[in-house]
Structure formats: C-alpha cells, structure tokens
C-alpha cells in the first residue's frame, strides 16, 4: 500500500514550521523565561523583571530596560530566522550574544498569544505589537522592552497536558532565572508570581551574587576557584565534600556566560573529587569558563544547552586541575600570614 499512498512533497506553511521549531525550544514556561531573559541581556538590560501567572502557563511578562526595538522592526522580531545579532558565518563563529538563531520569538508566538511593547532611546513614545492580529499601536512606557506571553500551548492541548502543577512550573521558572543571575551579577533580577515577589537579586559583586543566589551555606561550604590554562580562564566556587548531595542539582557550568550542560566538564570536575567523595554523591559547584569563541561551537543544540569544544580533552584537564587546586587549598593547614 505504500506506493499507492504516496503524497506529493510540499513546503510546510510558515506557522507550522514555527510550531515544529517551538517543539524543540519551548518545553514549558521556564523555556520561555530563559529565551526572554536571554534577549533582555543581549539588549544590555540593567534590570530584568519577570511576572508570572499560574506558574507562567497563563502569563509570562518579561520587562527590561535595554536598548529597545524600533517600531519598524517589531514585525521582524517575530519573523523566523530574523536576528540583529549575526550577519554572516564569520559572526556566527565568534558569536558573543546569548541569541543568534532568530527563532525564539517566532517559535513562542506560534504556540501562545504574544505581544511586544518597546521603546528606544530618544523615541517620542513606545509601540506595542500584537503578534496574533499584527496590530501596531502606541504605548506609553520607558526605554526598554516588555514581552508578554499568554496562554502557552493554548493551540496545542497535547503539549499543554505535559505541564505540571503551577508550583512546579514556577520552580522551574525561578531556576531558569537563577542560572542567569549567577553569571550576571551586574544585572538586577526580580520574579513575581501572582503579584507576590518570588525571588529578587539586586546588583552585587560576583561573590555576593553567588551568596545571594545559593545562600551563605554554599559560600561557607565552598572555596574559590581561579585558574588559567592556555586559552582557558576558569573562575567560580567549588563545594567541599560536605556540600555534596545525591542529586547534582547544584552544578552550574557556564561557557562564555552561557549556562551549559557538558559531560566532559562534569566528568572533569567529578574526577577531582575521586579521593574525597565516594559513591554516587555529586559535588556542588559554580564553574565559569571563558574561552576564545572560535574554540567552542555553540550552534549544536536548539536551546544551546550543549556546546562542542574544539579540544574537549584540554577543557576536561583544565577543569580537573583547577578543581583539585581549589580543593587542595582548603585542606592545607591555615598558616599565619607571612610578614612582608
Ligand atoms: P535571537 O535572540 O536569536 O536574535 P529572537 O527571536 O529571540 O532571536 O529575537 C529576535 C530579535 O528581536 C533579536 O535579534 C533582537 O533584535 C530583538 N529582540 C528580542 N527581544 C528583545 C529585547 N528584549 N530587547 C531588544 N531587542 C529584542
Ligand atoms: Mg533570543
């Protein structure tokens, strides 16, 4: 029956292409929060506020004080593969922004009811674009952008059914902002849920931000890490064995400011604990890796949660050595301060 049933090849309609892309990028409200906060950071925001209703399922509003989008470009912001961040392959290879695929807003808009309000420096007023109707109207607001995403997955009930309770979705949203907050202490973050403040991190020093996000217990139970190894620079804090848990839910790894999951990095870090951590217990750490963008490919996963290092072994080694060094300092006896 296969031959008889052949159907002609057709190009999919734009809307469906975006919905398929949304399947990869937008799993739950927290994925929307991640994409919108990425955009706010790329826009140079100093303060980012996230407002949620019903764990983000009913509404997600992300407000920033960044550069804004001029009204004539608002429709483009929603178009697939339209971006202000890269122009050619060369810029892709050395990309330093969180975004570059020009896909997130189009994907999110295809599975929700989305609107953007924005105002650029020097503009007389702002503009608001409703993605569903295409209507562009004036909007009174300060410089920056607010993107509102209502009724996520309203058009795809099958997807909506996979969502968990509001409390669980809220927790994922907060975790998503926490990941940003750890690596961007120069930016203030606030998350509101149902009109109540759920979490807030004011601008702080890098050290203070880690304390604010992960708590004083983490600071007390961890040691600073700072190392340079060839083209790599590593900074962060590594938890002493006492901080280890059954779940590796306090492992924050960043590559050039981007939160990632990487098996080689995780393995390098875990191996540094081989002598002091037994069984399946997982160490806690914050590890920020800076590397020449040409030595890492960030374009391997739609959500960019994975990266590919040109020399993964080098990264593994550097992480392992840096963590061992940081832990060794903590075990050395405390010597009286040398007189100079
Ligand atoms: P990408 O971030 O990969 O470029 P997006 O779909 O997330 O793709 O966004 C499309 C474009 O819309 C961005 O390139 C940017 O120019 C603009 N944009 C989105 N959000 C903001 C924002 N908060 N502030 C300023 N510009 C934004
Ligand atoms: Mg983006």
105 lines ligand 1 (CB under 6 A): yes
Q: Token pair for residue 325?
A: 């060094």
pLDDT at 335: 58
Does residue 225 sit in the same domain as residue 161?
Answer: no
Q: Look up the CATH number of the domain holding residue 275.
A: 3.30.230.10
69 lines ligand 1 (CB under 6 A): yes
Does residue 87 sit in the same domain as residue 154?
Answer: yes
Distance 95 CA to ligand 2 centre (A): 13
Of 105, 116, 147, 187, the residue with max ligand 1 atoms within 8 A of its CB, to mutate for a pocket test, comes to: 105
Interval 274-326: pLDDT, tens: 999 988 899 999 999 999 999 999 999 989 999 999 999 999 999 999 999 99
Q: Which domain holds residue 167?
A: 14-201
Give me the interface pTM, i.e. the ipTM.
Answer: 0.99
Distance 99 CA to ligand 2 centre (A): 4
66 lines ligand 1 (CB under 6 A): yes
Does residue 190 sit in the same domain as residue 316?
Answer: no
101 lines ligand 1 (CB under 6 A): yes
Which one of the ligands is nearest to 101 CA? 1
- Counted domains in the chain: 2
145 lines ligand 1 (CB under 6 A): yes
Does residue 221 sit in the same domain as residue 175?
Answer: no
Name the closest-CA residue to atom 16, ligand 1. 84
144 lines ligand 1 (CB under 6 A): no
Interval 162-198: pLDDT, tens: 999 999 999 999 999 999 999 999 999 999 999 999 9
52 within domain boundaries:
yes
Does residue 176 sit in the same domain as residue 298?
Answer: no
Does residue 192 sit in the same domain as residue 249?
Answer: no
47 within domain boundaries:
yes
């Amino acid at each position: 029956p296969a031959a008889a049933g052949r159907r002609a090849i057709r190009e999919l309609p734009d809307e469906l292409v975006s919905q398929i892309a949304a399947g990869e990028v937008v799993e739950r409200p927290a994925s929307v929060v991640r994409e919108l906060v990425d955009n706010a950071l790329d826009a140079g925001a100093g303060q980012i506020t996230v407002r949620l209703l019903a764990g983000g399922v009913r509404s997600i509003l992300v407000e920033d004080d960044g550069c804004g989008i001029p009204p004539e470009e608002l429709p483009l912001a929603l178009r697939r593969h339209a971006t202000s961040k890269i122009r050619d392959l060369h810029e892709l290879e050395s990309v330093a922004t969180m975004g570059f695929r020009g896909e997130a807003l189009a994907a999110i808009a295809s599975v929700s009811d989305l609107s953007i309000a924005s105002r650029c420096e020097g503009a007389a007023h702002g503009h608001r674009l409703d993605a569903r109707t295409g209507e562009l109207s004036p909007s009174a607001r300060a410089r920056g952008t607010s993107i509102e995403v209502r009724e996520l997955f309203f058009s795809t009930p099958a997807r909506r059914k996979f969502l968990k309770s509001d409390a669980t979705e809220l927790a994922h949203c907060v975790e998503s902002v926490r990941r940003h907050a750890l690596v961007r202490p120069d930016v203030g973050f606030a998350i509101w849920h149902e009109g109540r403040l759920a979490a807030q991190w004011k601008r702080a020093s890098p050290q203070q931000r880690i304390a604010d996000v992960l708590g004083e217990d983490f600071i007390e139970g961890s040691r600073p890490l700072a190392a340079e190894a060839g083209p790599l620079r590593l900074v962060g804090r590594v938890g002493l064995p006492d901080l280890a848990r059954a779940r590796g839910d306090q492992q924050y790894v960043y590559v050039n400011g981007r939160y990632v999951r990487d098996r080689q990095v995780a393995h390098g870090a875990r191996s540094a604990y081989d002598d002091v951590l037994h069984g399946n217990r997982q160490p806690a750490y914050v590890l920020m890796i800076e590397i020449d963008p040409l030595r890492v490919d960030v374009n391997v996963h739609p959500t960019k949660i994975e990266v590919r290092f040109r020399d993964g072994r080098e990264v593994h080694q550097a992480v392992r050595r840096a963590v061992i060094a940081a832990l060794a300092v903590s075990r050395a006896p405390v010597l009286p301060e040398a007189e100079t």
